Structure 1
Amino acid sequence: MTLIEGHRSITPADGIPVFDVDPYDPAILRDPMEYYAELRALGPVVFIPRYSVLAVGRYEETKTVFSDHENFVSSRGVGLNDFKLEKPWRAPSIILEVDPPDHARTRKIMARALSPKVVKTMAESFRTVAEELVDRVLARGTIEAVTELAEAFPTRVFPKAVGMKDSHARHLVDYGAMVFNAVGPDNALRREAMARAGEIVPWINAACTRDRLTDDGLGALVYAAADTGEITEDEAAMLVRSFLSAGVDTTVTGIGSALWCLSQNPEAWEALKADPSLARPCFEEVLRMTSPVHTFCRTANRATEIAGYPVSEGTKVLCVLGAANFDPEKWPDPDRFDINRRPVGHLAFGVGIHGCVGQNIARGELEAILGVMAERVARIEPAGEPTWRPNNGIRALDRLPLKLIPN
């Protein structure tokens, strides 16, 4: 058996188009739209020989594969590495990288800790921090929005929500980047991110222990499940780790992308200011347009099929969520940013049993920051060229110069 990037090399079924591309090329990661369009145009499923994987980018096939947890599993890794064949770089997540029935046990605990009712109790504290940050950047006028808002807000409010007694904003952001780069190949992006693992991972693991958490945060809710015997103490620590690996970086990306979309579409900002209740549908459209997680993998756990083509056991399938969210068969005029679109069914938060468990808190954070800005900011204008930070798993801005005009 030949392995490529830690998974089984395959021979695709007759008739599957071949796409000679490197989806993890930094140039594509910075600007993936042409790649997305070509992937969809080639067919419902394509073979990418560079990594010996199948890829889906049309909406229907992507949704089907991503949500079919019986045929296409997460327990063998959501990246290129097949955990059944090679040891992962860290202990697998017991919520993201696990299948039923074990998944239901841990998912229940996380869903309880991150329920809409719990997140609602955080709204006031989210707004207080949002007001402080927005007033600060308004006083400056021209800002670098990634560091001064997109990173600053989640790294302030989320550790407090979890109940972390001590926090480190840079470690939180860099750990998220490490986790998402790890889902790709052994390229320069992954190696550069993993070079800091020796410093960051021990800090993250220590920050997840019970003694480093307050008794009134999300972490305490998770450890309460250990006290009742639903999970072990070690499992509780791993679930808190899941908060930190997925709850910061994607929200940072979402806020930065929202500010980018609104600065590029002033009419949308005017509409949001006129009707702040549009904050939620605005964020959903931002997610559809920018897909913070652009690609996750599934592994065929048995012989199955995609769109009528046979798929052998052990096949890695790239689910290109970013491409699916631009499929014109699903979204009329997909290149247009429209906060009135209400894109129900977008795949930015996944779908099925592995839909993002933290989406309630992400939406709560975005609504807080956008709500305060809509009240206090007259206009958001570009103040320079935005630059995107290539990452094997997420599409994130690296720099976003903006000029904020107060009311």
Structure 2
Amino acid sequence: MNQTVPVSDIDPFSLDVLTDPYPAYERLREAGPVVWLERHGVWASARFSAVRAAVLDHETFSSAAGVGLADLRRQPGPSQADAGMAGAGRGTGWRTPSLLLEQDQPDHTRARRVVGSVLSPSAIRAKTESWTAQAESMVGQLVDTGEFDGISRLAQELPLRLFADAVGLPREGRGENLLPFADFAFNAFGPPNELFRKSVAGGDATLPWVVRHCYPDRLSPDGWGAQIHRLAESEGYSLDEGAVLVRSLLAAGIDTTVRGLGSVLWLLATHPEQYAALRARPDLIRAAFDEAVRLESPTRMFFRAVVKDTVLDGVELPAGEKILLLFGAANRDPRRWDRPDEFDITRRSGGHLGFGAGIHACVGRIVAYLEADVMLRALTRHAAAIETSSPPRWHLNNTTRGLAELPLTLSSSA
């Protein structure tokens, strides 16, 4: 290197950092626009301007080498435990690369066209009435019932019911399989640490169920999964590749939404003045969810591969190396956000990177917005107050951030 670049011994995948990442994020942001992480031999950026520039420049910063630590063009991933997934078509080695997350143009456009056509705005709007009714019922049953876990009873239950129904999965088996599968999938983007090994341990039961249920014979014929298969076939995808598309949607559509819904519940419960403001102005519901996603980004990071010599925010990066883009740090960058560590539902936070940006921006974010909308509207109608009754517990994952448990009480507005 013909330059002096800050070198850091911070490990973004250590348990201490995963438990409370923000001190480490601040150190990385203040060290420079791009930092060398000596523990993993990769570049990293925690600043908003650099992270955003990289995700928007897909021709220079490639996803095809994998959005995790391992470079899928050169080496296998951390385990051979995922043989069931690797057998589904194009993947070789430890896992099948995501046809949505881990492809460049023009292949990415083709996959995105299939899934994006199914998750169209009109298709999502068509779910509003039924999803609203179900959210009203779920929240109404929890008001004035005493303490309950907001994660299992709302943040998890809502996507497991609404999203999984829309995809066309059977009710039986989804609860015990989809969440562990997503946890494994996102842990796999990191190093072969203890978190990854623990999530692999349950894979023998979880992964085969998910793999089987991504094929048309296990999906309801009118669900989003079956529609993806029909469109995938018309685009020239094989049956196995269609199943990989459905599986990619399941991994992203359940876990990150659970994390985002859990965070907005926690932030509203711990900021009663913000919840009161939301009840007074339900038009701020989307802004409140965006602010929660900015402040506690469900997807805290992804990698990119540098495919040609380039300069990112004044730092020379050589071709062939990987860079870690820390969305969770960028979304709290004081260079971009005023009072970045505060939760303010009136903030104009729609430019956050919690759903990514550019061609790889989350294709299912419109689904997450609707799920958040129906949940928060039900809360503001039924509950005069939302309170935490004891400290929450964080769920640790190499890629995502969210709560494992959130003791809540809801007081009736009647």
Q: Same fold (TM over 0.5)?
A: yes
User: CA offsets, 1:4-36, max 9 Å, x none?
Assistant: xxxxxxxx5531101111111111111111111
Show the counterpart of 2:192: 186
1:31 pairs with one of 20, 23, 43: 20
Q: Which residue is 2:11 aligned to?
A: 22
Quote the offset at 1:229 in angstroms. 4.2
Which residue is equivalent to 2:153? 148
- 2:114 maps to a residue whose letter is I
Out of 28, 45, 59, which is 2:34 matched to? 45
- Correspondence 1:46-61 to 2 at 5 A: 46-61=35-50
In the other structure, the counterpart of 2:162 is 157
**Superposed displacement of residue 232, structure 1:** 2.8
Greater shift in the superposed pair: 255-264 or 191-200? 191-200
Q: 1:224: how far off?
A: 2.0
Alignment partner of 2:133 out of 128, 137, 162: 128
What are the Cα deviations for residues 266-298 of structure 1, in whole angstroms up to 9, with x where unaligned? Answer: 111111111212111110001101000011111
SS in structure 2 opposite 1:375? helix
Distance 1:263 1:139 in 2: 15
The 3 A distance-change label for structure 1 pair 283 and 13 is farther
Asked if the contact 1:303/1:313 (under 8 Å) is kept, the reply is yes
**1:84 maps onto 2:73 in alignment:** yes
Q: Which residue of 1 aligns with 2:59?
A: 70
- 1:138 deviation in Å? 1.5
TM-score by structure 1 length?
0.95
Q: Is the 8 A contact 2:167 2:223 kept in 1?
A: yes
- Classify 1:69/1:227 alpha carbon distance in 2 versus 1 (closer, same or farther; 3 Å): closer
Which residue type is aligned with residue 289 of structure 1?
L
Residue in 2 aligned with 1:355? Answer: 361
Does residue 239 (structure 1) correspond to residue 231 (structure 2)? The answer is: no
Q: Contact 1:13–1:309 at 8 Å: present in 2 too?
A: no
Could you tell me how far apart the structure 2 residues matched to 1:114 and 1:318 are?
A: 29
Picking from 368, 374, 379, the partner of 1:368 is 374
- The DSSP-based 3-state class of the residue aligned with 2:192 is coil
- Counterpart amino acid of residue 152 in structure 1: E
Are residues 1:340 and 2:346 paired?
A: yes
- What is the aligned partner in structure 2 of residue 203 from structure 1? 209
Q: In structure 2, what is the Cα distance between the partners aligned to 1:197 and 1:69? A: 32
Structure 1 segments, 4+ long, off by >4 Å, are: none
Q: Which residue of 2 aligns with 1:223?
A: 229
> SS in structure 2 opposite 1:299?
strand
2:112 maps to what in 1?
107
Counterparts of 2:74 and 2:2 in 1: how far apart (Å)?
23
Q: Which amino acid aligns with 1:35?
A: A
TM-score (norm 2): 0.93
Can you list the C-alpha shifts for 1:344-387, whole angstroms capped at 9, x where unaligned?
21000001000000000011101011111110000011100112
SS in 2 for 1:247: helix
Number of equivalences: 396
Q: For 1:396, what is the secondary structure of its paired residue?
A: strand
Give yes or no for contact 1:301–1:313 (8 Å, CA) kept in 2.
yes
Task: Identify the residue that residue 275 of structure 2 maps to in structure 1.
Answer: 269
CA distance in 2, matches of 1:336, 1:21: 25
**Structure 1 residue 177: deviation in Å?**
0.8
127-136 vs 317-326, which deviates more?
Answer: 127-136
- Native 8 Å contact 2:110 2:235 kept in 1: no
Offset at residue 66 of structure 1 (A): 2.0
Deviation, 1:103, is: 0.5
Alignment partner, residue 8 of structure 1: none
| CA distance in 1 between partners of 2:2 and 2:51 (Å) | 18
Shift, 1:153, TM fit? 1.1
> How far is 1:230 from its partner?
4.3
Out of 376, 382, 395, the residue aligned to residue 389 of structure 1 is 395
Q: Distance in 2 between matches of 1:70 and 1:235?
A: 24
Opposite residue 385 of structure 1, the aligned amino acid is P
What is the distance in 2 between the residues matched to 1:13 and 1:360?
44
Unaligned runs of 5+ in 1: 1-11
8 Å contact 2:144–2:409 — kept in the other structure?
A: no
| 8 Å contact kept, 1:40–1:327 | yes
SS of 1:47 mapped into structure 2: strand
Percent identity of paired positions between Structure 1 and Structure 2: 40
- 1:287-345, Cα deviation, whole Å (9 max, x unpaired): 10100001111111222222232212221111000110001111111111111112121
Whole-Å separation in 1 of the counterparts to 2:256 and 2:346: 23
Match of 1:378 among 381, 384, 390: 384
Measure the CA separation in 2 of the matches of 1:389 and 1:289: 16
Q: Supply the AA of the counterpart residue of 1:111.
A: G
Aligned to 2:122: 117
Q: Secondary structure at the match of 1:287?
A: helix
Stretch of structure 1 that moved more, 212-221 or 72-81: 212-221
Matched-pair contact (CA < 8 Å) for 1:13–1:311: no
